[in-house]
């Protein structure tokens, strides 16, 4: 079956003319159509545009042209602006918004020859840990449709896990690539903040948001990331530093690599069976020549309260633009300007987004800015300093990605605090702007578990190398849900 091929294998097969891009795209479009009632992974499917782009890719390949991803189908999380295609951000507010331009990530992958099949479901404005806040309904986990796929990039993760696309774009503000990767049994990479352009990516929290990739393996993720990364003068947070060939570094041996086990991650909140799978994965790294040692990041347990001050504050500012005047949802027959603002925002935003806007507005208010927002930023610097000290002793840090495997849909929606704690192991890397990834390392009760690897700034090549060497020794990344295999 053609969908069982990896992204790397599909790119090579197209070059070798084993199949055409049009054949490939049609096969994936059929799988998407068949799976949509069960998974709800897509918001928009762009079949006509995809087939047109596939035919163009076939012509390029026949002429010996085309980029590294020529003719390969992918899909985008629905917060990347895509010219001529609806970009909803999983919200009612932007339900009718058609972008007039491409995000830099979209443009780069298009230049590499990738064919976009559509836009993927997500938590509304990327706010959520389970993909249950989407205006278009929850995404379901391909391993068990009664369970969540993780969020906010749940549509991207579910689509890759179900082999509806070989890879997908995603974003990570507090764990929204790594956590759904862990819950769906795939590989997810969040690069260093500034490594991948944020231009054309609808903002949630500007100092935390980072574009990345979800794929079946570290090798596939390395190929995608190589094409996505790079300096963009249109993004003021983009860093002008050379992008290495991530594929070239994958096979480096792990002998002598120092792996720090984050003490604070192996706490009472970690499910014991999940911990067992993570420790088994760490033992594989040790057999490959890596040395393991415990490392303490004493301020890391404060990352959740820090995040839920900083992120809502930035979201409050970023979402102020959605006022019913310029674009997005507009209420019917407003009585005056105040009524326009109130009803447009009240109707356009869901409960979780409203909760975070209100929290953010509160912590930024004149009487509370110093007590909450400024203090959170100071603790954020302490967390970053802890990571910096740790990387003076070890090459990478490792631990669980999530405290548990996936939970049932609806199990935590009534308790926002419990939901927020699902990101307790992932938020720190965002606060410090560090690259991090999650790879599958086993199952608990038939649901996947993830191993998280964190590196110093711009060490994507190193963490991908560690993940790839691990995947050469294991087959967790090759497993697919039975009904989608």
Which residues are the active-site residues? 77, 152, 176
- Identify whether the C-beta of residue 148 lies closer than 8 Å to the C-beta of residue 157: no
Nearest residue to 119 via CA among 59, 54, 50:
50
In DSSP terms, which residues pair with 258 in a beta bridge? 291
Nearest residue to 265 via CA among 341, 156, 327, 182:
182
Phi-psi region of 380 (alpha: psi -120 to 50; beta: other; left: phi over 0): alpha
Nearest residue to 142 via CA among 477, 478, 447, 471:
447
- Identify whether the C-beta of residue 152 lies closer than 8 Å to the C-beta of residue 127: yes
Nearest residue to 214 via CA among 280, 160, 286, 139:
160
Torsion, CA 212, CA 218, CA 219, CA 222, rounded to 10:
30
Q: Strand (E) positions, 98-141?
A: 115-120
Instruction: Give the C-alpha separation, 339 to 134, whole Å.
Output: 25
User: Across the chain, which distance is largest between two alpha carbons, in Å?
Assistant: 70
Torsion, CA 341, CA 344, CA 348, CA 354, rounded to 10:
30
Torsion, CA 172, CA 83, CA 159, CA 409, rounded to 10:
60
Instruction: Give the C-alpha separation, 468 to 26, whole Å.
Output: 30
∠ Cα 278 475 139 (to 5°)? 75
Nearest residue to 448 via CA among 181, 156, 168:
181
In DSSP terms, which residues pair with 295 in a beta bridge? 262
Phi-psi region of 324 (alpha: psi -120 to 50; beta: other; left: phi over 0): left
Beta strand 115-120 with 73-77 is parallel
∠ Cα 160 30 105 (to 5°)? 45
């Amino acid at each position: 079956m053609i969908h069982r091929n990896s992204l790397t294998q599909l790119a090579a097969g197209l070059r070798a003319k084993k199949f055409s891009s049009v054949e490939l795209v049609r096969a994936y479009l059929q799988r998407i159509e068949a799976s949509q009632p069960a998974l709800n992974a897509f918001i928009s499917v762009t079949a006509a545009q995809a087939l047109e782009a596939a035919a163009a890719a076939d012509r390029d390949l026949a002429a010996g042209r085309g980029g590294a991803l020529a003719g390969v189908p992918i899909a985008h999380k629905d917060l990347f602006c895509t010219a001529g295609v609806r970009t909803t951000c999983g919200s009612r507010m932007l339900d009718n918004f058609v972008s007039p331009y491409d995000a830099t990530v979209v443009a780069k992958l298009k230049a590499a020859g990738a064919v976009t099949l559509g836009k993927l479901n997500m938590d509304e404005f990327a706010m959520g840990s389970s993909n249950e806040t989407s205006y278009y309904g929850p995404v379901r986990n391909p391993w068990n449709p009664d369970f969540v796929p993780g969020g906010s990039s749940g549509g991207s993760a579910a689509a890759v896990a179900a082999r509806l696309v070989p890879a997908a774009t995603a974003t990570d503000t507090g764990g929204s690539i790594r956590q759904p990767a862990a819950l769906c049994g795939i590989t997810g990479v969040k690069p260093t903040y500034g490594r991948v352009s944020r231009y054309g990516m609808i903002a949630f929290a500007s100092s935390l948001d980072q574009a990345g990739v979800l794929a079946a393996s570290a090798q596939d993720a390395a190929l995608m990331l190589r094409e996505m990364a790079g300096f963009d003068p249109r993004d003021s947070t983009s860093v002008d530093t050379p992008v290495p060939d991530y594929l070239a570094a994958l096979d480096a041996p792990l002998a002598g690599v120092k792996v720090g086990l984050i003490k604070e991650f192996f706490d009472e909140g970690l499910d014991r069976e999940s911990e067992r799978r993570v420790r088994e994965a760490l033992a594989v790294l040790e057999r490959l020549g890596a040395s393991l040692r415990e490392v303490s990041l004493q301020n890391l347990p404060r990352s959740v309260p820090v995040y839920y001050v900083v992120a809502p504050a930035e979201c409050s500012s970023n979402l102020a633009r959605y006022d019913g005047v310029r674009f997005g949802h507009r209420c019917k027959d407003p009585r005056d300007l105040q009524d326009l603002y109130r009803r447009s925002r009240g109707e356009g935003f869901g409960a979780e987004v409203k909760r975070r806007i209100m929290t953010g507005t509160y912590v930024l208010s004149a009487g509370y800015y110093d007590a909450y927002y400024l203090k959170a930023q100071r603790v954020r610097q302490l967390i970053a300093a802890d990571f910096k000290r740790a990387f003076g002793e070890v090459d990478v840090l490792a631990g669980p990605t999530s405290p548990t495997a996936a939970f049932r849909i609806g199990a935590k929606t009534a308790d926002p605090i419990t939901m927020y704690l699902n990101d307790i192991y992932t938020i720190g890397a965002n606060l410090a702007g560090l690259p991090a990834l999650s790879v599958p390392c086993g199952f608990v009760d038939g649901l996947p578990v993830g191993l998280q690897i964190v590196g110093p700034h711009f060490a994507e090549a190193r963490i991908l190398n560690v993940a790839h060497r691990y995947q050469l020794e294991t087959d967790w990344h090759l497993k697919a849900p039975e009904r989608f295999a």
